Amino acid sequence: MIPVQYYLLLSAAVFCIGVFGILTRKNALMFLMSVELLLNAANINLVAFSQFHGNLSGQTFSLFTLALAAAEVAVGIGIILVLYRNFKDVDVAKATTMRW
């Protein structure tokens, strides 16, 4: 059985990669991918502690987080399509206004 500390280290690494992606990228698609990494880091923690405590509540919350991530991607892709249609680029620095 793998100790919970290894899961926490993996989760911290994935979370740090996600934060680094959000802070350094200007591409909207990279933002979405970085947010997915943040949510997956939370899921790793939830499942690890669920296994550690021997109940299924963390895994249940993880499923809700996955559903939330899917909804977030659907809305995010819509925003990116509108951004590309209006500015011909997905760089968020160029989109200073969302007016037509």
CB-based contacts of 51: which residues, under 8 Å, 6+ apart? 4, 58
Residue 77 has pLDDT above 90, yes or no: yes
SS3 (DSSP) at 27: strand
Mean pLDDT value across the chain: 90
Name the pTM for this structure.
Answer: 0.84
- The per-residue pLDDT for range 16-64, each reduced to its tens digit, is 999 999 999 888 899 999 999 999 999 999 999 999 999 999 999 999 9
pLDDT of residue 26: 86
